[in-house]
Amino acid sequence: MVTKLPKTDVVTVGVGWTGGIIAAECSKAGLEVVGLERGRNRETQDFAMKHDELRYALRYENGQDLSRQTLTFRNNSGQRALPMRKFGSFLLGEGVGGAGTHWNGLTDRYSPYDFEIRSKTIEKYGESKIADGLNLQDWGITYEEIEPYYVKFEKMAGISADETPLRGERSEPFPNPAMKSTPAMDLFIETTKNMGLDPFVMPAANNSQNYQNPDGQRIGACQYNGFCERFGCEYGAKASPNITVIPTAEATGNFELRPNSEVIEVLHDGEKATGVLYIDTRTGERFEQPAEVVALTSYTFNNNRLLLASELGTPYNPETQRGTIGKNYCYQVIVGTDGFFDDQKFNVAMGSGGLAATLDNFNADNFDHTDHDFLHGGSILMGQYAKRPIANNQVPPGTPRWGSDFKKQSIKYFNRSINIYTYGACLPHANNYLDLDPTYKDIHGYPLLRMTFDYSDTDRKRGHFLNEQTKKIMQEMGATHVSDNESMEHYDITEYKATHNTGGVIMGEDPETSAVNSYLQMWEADNVFVVGGSAYPHQSGYNATATLGALAYRASEGIIDYSKDGGSLV
Amino acid sequence: MADEKHESKTITRRDFIKKTGYVTGGVVGGGVLGGLLGSEVWNTTTDPEVAPEELQQHDQALQYFKSRADFQVLSSATERIFPADELGPGAIELGVPYYIDHQLAGRWGINDREYRQGPFYKGEPNQGYQTHLKHHEIFDLGIEALEKYSQSTFNERFAELEGKQQDEVLMAFDNDEVDMSVISSSLFFELLRTMTFEGVYADPLYGGNKDMQGWKMKEYPGVQMSYTEEIESEDFVEMDPVSLHKRFNT
């Protein structure tokens, strides 16, 4: 039995950053918005006991309930995909605010090079520079065009930073000054300056001071007590949808937040969506929510899975390389170096999720690639994120993994080791894609999403190059011992790297090669907007959140325009 | 710092705000304070002088294991992974075996919130945990296998072996040299190793990290509400650690 509800102007599937931004902007413009979120509601007071590494960081209190739904994974199409039964490589969120509640707060813009990566690469190096199998595509939007939306996101979230050398031009300064720097960050900054590089303090959503955003929402000043990534902020000092865009939407009177509402299908007639089908996860009741506009604002994986399960859009076929849904799945190349300092202790337990020094000299096309057999690069960071004791037992190479010597060394180096690492770009390969798993089902009987992904040779070469840079910097910083370079042989879903999964419903100029236009409006169903990291044609060498925030502001504009005139926005 | 156990639990609202530093951020919503201040701890009074019952470790009994012998195997194994030495206590003194016992009896023991549907295939190591067995079942099999391997190799119970011999046994499990038929011995060992470190360093509320001694060895300050004053310090700042128990009850 399905209960049919009254029609709304806009329904969002998921209420995290993208759903929250769309809810805020559309409801301010007078549209009626319903936000469906499969998890429960959460507020700042729910994080009073969050200084608990075991419960939040290792038992994933804020994570998706994998017993209900997960995805399957294999490195290549010759393997059998198996379910991700436990969390490892990335942290899927659940609940109001989504992953925007438990993120760290590192906030980058992508480079001007990224948005026109194919054109600019060919222009500078010729088409032969693009390795076989790489589906490098322009985004259908330029940096100049997306820049005002970055500004909107940064002001809404109170991003704290001073200057960002080697990044795209800014039309306005950051709304808050940079966060405080620590001795470890200072050492990184000083050392890399001496190496001729251009370090700076990372833009962060952990606000450096009390702040009121243009919507009137207040964000507190960061207390540097750590517990950011995987945790919510008990001070309301880390920008999250819960304390910014969601209350803004609610204040309009035009937004209805419905937690515990799990969308299982997008209903459509082949050309337009008519609404969504969802289940109240507490009562088991099924509802149809008709809507003029359906905005898929879930995480990358669920945006893909819902489209595929609802048979909306043309699935990507890796054999023919035709079709778009599931195409260009990308991740991130993360490598790094631990440095062990025999004669120096750092206050590693202090810090904040967005507190880092970084540099872009080896990112994007900021360095000449003529003599390199890869494209793009990555940002290099020295983070002061507040180390927690269960997860941090770094020991110099050669130390046993347990026992007496391990105990001594892991205790000795807890406050004497720091890490430099990269967010390396990951470029789309024809063999990496998302589709539906033929075997495994979610709790409702719908197929799980299947991820087929491995690093391509160009990713491995980029990773190796970046790892050499992190090692060199760490040595220059005076570490007594440094860790060995990381293996890039095969992607491993069991070790945490980053919650930066992108692609599958990518944006572009051409309906043949992309699923959505630059307003994230689906080419094949013009009242469906698919918003999030799913729209990225490739993964850049930066943190992923600001770009999806900017795109969500642009999509909101598109939805508002579409509601007036209908039709394709481009 | 006074021992937590002997501190009065009665506290005024003003003391609370002063002590926790909850309002140092300036814009803390009423929500955080409201949630804490409204809780029942405000009506609790405990005589700070006489609390002999508290000194007993009532949580040091078995929720999961049935036999002392099995618990002994577990205890000896964790102690080899994190032994007592001149730096401080080892796993047993820190309560790690009780921590693991309690975890096995709870949600972690039954792989709550993990995907449990079949079919089950072995898979590649980078595809992760794929056994149909739950964590608690793996520990049952693992402890049985530790005992069996010790008997067949040294003709002695695991808990009775010399430390070095116990290390040899554990090393064999770690290196996948022991046939556990349904799972690899390294999977069991990895879980045992992980759970041992959790028991050493998780908040004491879970039964391990007794008296925060794991944190003290690591010079980890635990649950501090603000480092705004210290974050830029050139020197290493030593602090007495604070646990969630104190945070919740003061």
Give the per-residue pLDDT at B52. Answer: 55
The alpha carbons of chain A give a radius of gyration, in whole angstroms, of 22
Question: Which chain A residues are Cβ-neighbours of B196 within 8 angstroms?
Answer: 402
Q: Is the pLDDT of residue A513 over 90?
A: yes
CA B249 to chain A, closest CA, distance in angstroms equals: 12
In a domain, A282, yes or no: yes
Whether the CB-CB separation of A306 and A322 falls below 8 Å is answered with: no
How far is B183 from B139, CA to CA, in rounded Å? 11
With H, G, I as helix, E, B as strand and everything else as coil, classify residue A118: helix
Q: Which residue in A449, A78, A310, A437 sits closest to B119, CA to CA? A: A437
Is the Cβ of B87 closer than 8 Å to some Cβ of chain A? yes
Question: In chain A, which residue's Cα lies nearest the Cα of B123?
Answer: A82
Residues forming beta bridges with residue A327, ordered by sequence position: A504
Angle ∠(A373,A378,A384) on CA atoms, nearest 5: 150
Integer angstrom CA distances of residue A124 from A130, A142, A466:
11, 17, 22
The residue of B223, B231, B247 whose CB has the most chain A CBs within 10 angstroms, and thus the best one to mutate to test that interface, is B231
Q: Give pLDDT, residue B57.
A: 84
Cβ separation of B232 and A181 shorter than 8 Å? Answer: yes
pLDDT at B26 over 50: no
Question: What average pLDDT does this structure show over B167-175?
Answer: 98
| Contact of B161 with B73, CB cutoff 8 Å | no
Are the C-beta atoms of A18 and A534 separated by less than 8 Å? no
Split at pLDDT 50, 70, 90, the class of A99 is: very high
**A76-115 residues touching B, CB cutoff 8 A:** 79-80, 82-86, 88
pLDDT of residue B14: 42
Q: What is the pLDDT of residues B39-68, one digit of tens each?
A: 333 344 445 555 555 577 889 999 999 999
Closest-CA residue to B203 (of A63, A55, A149): A55
Contact between residue A181 and residue A357 where contact means Cβ atoms under 8 Å apart: yes
CB-CB under 8 Å, A440 with B81: no
Which of B34, B117, B201 has its CB closest to that of A45? B34
Q: How far apart are CA A543 and CA A357, in angstroms?
A: 14
pLDDT score for B56:
79
Out of B85, B224, B236, name the one closest to residue A415 (CB).
B236
Interface-testing mutation among A67, A186, A407, with chain B (most B C-beta atoms within 10 A): A407
Q: What confidence score (pLDDT) does residue A243 get? A: 98
Position A570 in a domain: no
CA distance A15 to A36: 7
Q: Is the predicted pLDDT of residue A281 greater than 70, yes or no? A: yes
**DSSP H or E stretch at residue A102:** helix A99-102
Note whether A53 contacts B228, CB cutoff 8 Å. Answer: no
B223–A contact, CB cutoff 8 A: yes
Predicted local distance difference test score (pLDDT) of residue B49: 53
| Nearest CB to B25; choose among A47, A237, A346 | A237
Beta bridge partners of A378: A424
pLDDT in tens, A425-438: 999 999 999 999 99
- Whether A40 and chain B come into contact, CB under 8 Å, resolves to no
A500 carries an active-site annotation: yes
SS3 for A119? helix
Q: What is the 3-state secondary structure (H, E, C) of chain B?
A: CCCHHHCCCCCCHHHHHHHHCCCCCCCCCHHHHHHHHCCHHHHCCCCCCCCHHHHCCCCCCCCCCCCHHHHHHHHHHHHHHCCCECCECCHHHHCHHHHHHHHHHCCCCCCCCCCCCCCCCCCCHHHCCCCCCCHHHHHHHHHHHHHHHHHHHHCCCHHHCCHHHHHHHHHHHHCCCCEECCEEHHHHHHHHHHHHHHHHHCCHHHCCCHHHHHHHHHCCCECCCCCCCCCCCCCCCCCCCECHHHHHHC
Q: Flag whether A260 is in a domain.
A: yes
Model confidence pLDDT, tens digit, residues A230-280: 999 999 999 999 999 999 999 999 999 999 999 999 999 989 999 999 999
- Which residues does chain A have within 8 Å of residue B119's beta carbon, measured at their own beta carbons? 439
**pLDDT for residue A118 is more than 70:** yes
- What mean pLDDT is reported for chain B? 85
Q: pLDDT band at residue B16, thresholds of 50, 70 and 90?
A: very low
- Per-residue buried b or exposed e for A544-568, using 16+ beta carbons within 10 Å of the residue's own CB: bbbbbbbbbbbbbbbbbebbeeeee
User: Which chain A residues are within 8 Å of B130, Cβ to Cβ?
Assistant: 82-83, 85
Span A109-123, average pLDDT? 98
CB proximity A281 to B under 8 Å: no
Q: Which residues of B touch A95 (CB under 8 A)?
A: none
Average pLDDT, chain A: 97
In the predicted structure, residue A414 carries a pLDDT above the cut 90: yes
Distance from CA of B246 to the nearest CA of A (A): 11
Mean pLDDT in residue range A338-355: 98
Q: Name the token pair of A117.
A: 């990566």
CB contact under 8 A, B214 and A490: no
Q: Are A524 and A314 in contact (CB under 8 A)?
A: yes
Using CB atoms, which residue from B36, B113, B227 is nearest to A225? B227
Tell me which DSSP letter residue A292 carries: E
Q: What's the token pair of residue A257? A: 């937040």
A431 touches chain B (CB under 8 A): no
Instruction: Give the residue-averaged pLDDT of A447-458.
Output: 98
Under 8 Å between Cβ of B59 and B210: no
- Tell me which residue in B80, B117, B227 faces A224 most closely, judged by beta carbons: B227
Give residues with Cβ within 8 angstroms of A202, minimum separation 6: A106, A107, A108, A161, A354, A355, A356, A357, A358, A381
A29 domain-assigned: yes
The beta-carbon neighbor of A82 closest among B26, B127, B234 is B127
Element (DSSP H or E) covering residue A338: strand A336-340
According to the model, what pLDDT value does residue A386 have?
97
Q: What is the pLDDT of residues A363-405, one digit of tens each?
A: 999 999 999 999 999 999 999 999 999 999 999 999 999 999 9
Banded pLDDT at A218 (limits 50, 70, 90): very high
Subunit contact A347:B236, Cβ cutoff 8 A? yes
> What's the confidence (pLDDT) of residue B17?
39
CB-based contact B29 A440, cutoff 8 Å: no
The mean pLDDT value for B144-170 works out to 98
For residues A20-28, average pLDDT:
98
Domain extent, residue A474, equals 2-565
Mutate to test the interface with B, among A53, A180, A189, A235 (most CBs of B within 10 A): A235
CA distances to A338, B74, B77, B100, B106 from B196, rounded to whole Å, are 23, 10, 9, 8, 16
- The closest alpha carbon to A259, from A278, A234, A232, belongs to A278
**pLDDT at residue B20 is higher than 70:** no
Name the domain count of chain A. Answer: 1
Nearest to A45 among B35, B224, B236 (CB): B35
Which whole number is the average pLDDT over B189-218? Answer: 98
pLDDT at B5: 39
- Name the phi and psi angles at B56, rounded to 5: -75, 145
Q: What does the pLDDT average to over B86-110?
A: 98
Q: For position A527, which CATH number holds?
A: 3.50.50.60
For chain A, percent of residues with pLDDT exceeding 90? 100
> What's the pLDDT score for residue B250?
80
Mean pLDDT calculated for residue range B88-92: 98
- CA-nearest residue to B212 within chain A is A389
Q: Which residue among the candidates A268, A376, A500, A538 is catalytic per the annotation?
A: A500
- Please give the torsion angle defined by the CA atoms of residues A290, A19, A435 and A453, in that order, rounded to the nearest 10 degrees: 180
Q: Is residue B36 pLDDT above 60, yes or no?
A: no
Q: Tell me whether residues B114 and A79 touch, CB distance under 8 A.
A: no
**DSSP-assigned beta bridge partners for residue A315:** A325
Which residue from A minimizes the CA distance to B193?
A: A402
Q: For chains A and B, count residue pairs whose Cβ atoms are closer than 8 Å.
A: 197
Which distant-in-sequence residues (6+ apart) come within 8 Å of A382 by Cβ? A184, A185, A187, A188, A356, A357, A358, A418, A419, A420
pLDDT given at position B44: 42
Quick check: B171 contacting A, CB < 8 Å?
no
Would an 8 Å CB–CB cutoff place A148 in contact with chain B? Answer: no
- Quickly count: other Cβ atoms within 10 Å of residue B52's Cβ: 6
Q: Please indicate if any CB of chain B lies within 8 Å of the CB of A7.
A: no
Q: What string of DSSP letters covers A421-469?
A: EEEE-B--BTT-EEEEEEEEE-TTSPEEEEEE----HHHHHHHHHHHHH
What's the pLDDT score for residue B51?
52
Higher pLDDT, A81 or B24: A81
Tell me which residue has tokens 């945490």: A496
How are beta strands A525-530 and A521-522 bridged, if at all?
antiparallel
pLDDT at B190: 98
List, in sequence order, every residue forming a beta bridge with A296; answer none if it has no partner.
Answer: A13, A530
The percentage of residues in chain B with a pLDDT greater than 70, rounded to a whole number, is 78
> Is B79 near chain A, with CB under 8 Å?
no
Closest partner residue to A210 (CB to CB) among B27, B116, B227 is B27
Per residue in A55-67, pLDDT (tens digit) is 999 999 999 999 9
**pLDDT tens digit string along A295-341?**
999 999 999 999 999 999 999 999 999 999 999 999 999 999 999 99
Contact B5, B54 (CB under 8 A): yes
pLDDT class of B18 with cuts at 50, 70, 90? very low
What CA–CA distance (Å, rounded) separates B215 from B211? 9
Which chain B residues touch A401 with a CB distance below 8 Å?
174, 193
Helix, strand, coil abundance in chain A, percent, nearest 5: 25, 25, 50
Q: Minimal Cα–Cα distance from B51 to chain A, Å?
A: 26
